[in-house]
Amino acid sequence: MSATILVLNAGSSSLKFQLFALGSGDLLIRRLKGQIDGVGGRHPRLVVADADRQPVHEETYPGNRVASLEDAQELLGNWLLGHLGELPVAVGHRVVHGGPDFATAMLVDDGLIERLARLSPLAPLHQPNNLAPIRSIRARRPDLPQVACFDTAFHRGHPEVADRFAIPEALYQEGVRRYGFHGLSYEYISVQLPEIAPTVAGGRVVALHLGSGCSACALMDRRSVDSTMGFTALDGLPMGTRPGQLDPGVVLYLMQQGQDAASIQHLLYHDCGLMGLSGGSNDVRDLLASDEPQARLALDYFVYRISQAVASLGASMGGIDGIVFTAGIGEHAVPVRAAIAARCAWLGVRLDPERNAAHGPLITAADSRIPAFVIPTDEEQMIARHTLAVLRRAKGLA
């Protein structure tokens, strides 16, 4: 068995993973992909498939066996050790917030964990969960190298005017600024552009990461120059349960009505977005299948705000040469892509219905002034690449 890198992406109740074998040079070969879902629930389950999506293992456990992400990591580690016969050479992790100090992937030590934990209030849905398996592995296997890969890092090259809020300088120096997120996804898209969309790769591209979390990114010559997300992952586009752009006066109003920080945080992270507008679901598939007026309103609002973001990021770049859809909704929701394209018709976007139904990669007509593409994202691939690069730097091989 060749040496491997394990990639972990921890959510609130799941631990997704991929295992990559190290080939010659920088070649990374996907071997396994899976997840432990239902963490903390009654019937947590481990599901593993190979690179061809063929089942490798599936097992359901008693709820008390996988009560936390630390339990999930231990279970996964034991299963992998039994399956492979050896540990991976390193573990790469997605960490949502890198704050003002980290613009590149970093080798984990106790000091880094502590600094990242201080950022948890800025990403309460993600940061504590991202750090849980890091801490668990650190405690059990302190000699196993771990690498933290930040969703904010790809956006660190923004011009200052794009990252500022109109607030006093002292707050900016404290780190109150626009960071941008989904950077690992956008970085992967930037790598794929020359192969999939060579005519626009060096130009001005609006990339739309549309999933449970949603954002848009302005790419110029494959570098991020602006993003819809800001200080936290609440800003910008409406999401599954998060509101996106919101007048801060709404938060002041809620405080004046007696709500405390904890209740407001729960509202903004769990009860808004598509869930709040529809009153029933944050799943676009449910909303598309529903005849309820509130479901239609939620989808209309979603499309409306996304089309506004396309135009806004176009203004940031001085024009648009291409549009990319990615992530769960962006890659699979044919009607949503069609509705966004229709709202962008004034820019010269004209969809080809058959190409859109086939999920591209090119989904616009030959005479569309701005081509649009569907490019599946692969954050885990980027994490594995960064992990390998950090390992090589640590060993003086870069």
Determine the pLDDT at residue 397. 54
The angle formed by the CA atoms of residues 6, 215 and 10, to the nearest 5 degrees, is 25
151 is known as an active-site residue: yes
Determine the pLDDT at residue 65. 83
Angle (deg, nearest 10), helices 127-140 and 110-117 = 160
Q: What CATH code is assigned to 198-379? A: 3.30.420.40
In the chain, where the domains are located: 4-156+380-394, 198-379
Residue 67: pLDDT band by 50, 70, 90 thresholds? confident
User: Cα(139)–Cα(146) distance, rounded to whole angstroms?
Assistant: 12
Q: How big is the chain by its Cα radius of gyration, in Å?
A: 21
Note whether 4-156+380-394 and 198-379 share their fold: yes
Residue 61 has pLDDT above 60, yes or no: yes
State mean pLDDT over 188-194. 97
Determine the pLDDT at residue 210. 97
Residue 389 has pLDDT above 90, yes or no: yes
> Which tens digit of pLDDT belongs to each residue from 70-106?
888 888 888 988 888 888 999 999 999 999 889 999 9
Residue 189: pLDDT band by 50, 70, 90 thresholds? very high
Tokens of 179: 């960071």
Q: What CATH code is assigned to 4-156+380-394? A: 3.30.420.40
Residue 10 has pLDDT above 90, yes or no: no
Instruction: Give percent of the chain with pLDDT exceeding 70.
Output: 99
From 37, 50, 143, 151, the catalytic residue: 151
> Which tens digit of pLDDT belongs to each residue from 273-319?
999 999 989 999 999 999 999 999 999 999 999 999 999 999 999 99
State mean pLDDT over 206-216. 96
Determine the pLDDT at residue 1. 56
Determine the pLDDT at residue 316. 96
Mean pLDDT over each residue of the chain, to the nearest integer: 93
Residue 169 has pLDDT above 80, yes or no: yes
User: Cα(227)–Cα(245) distance, rounded to whole angstroms?
Assistant: 12
> Which tens digit of pLDDT belongs to each residue from 317-367?
999 999 999 999 999 999 999 999 999 999 999 999 999 999 999 999 999
Cβ atoms of 60 and 45 closer than 8 Å: yes
Determine the pLDDT at residue 323. 98
Residue 171 has pLDDT above 80, yes or no: yes
State mean pLDDT over 264-271. 95
**Backbone torsion region of residue 263, taken as left when φ is above 0, otherwise alpha when ψ lies between -120 and 50, otherwise beta:** alpha
> Quick one: DSSP state of residue 78?
H
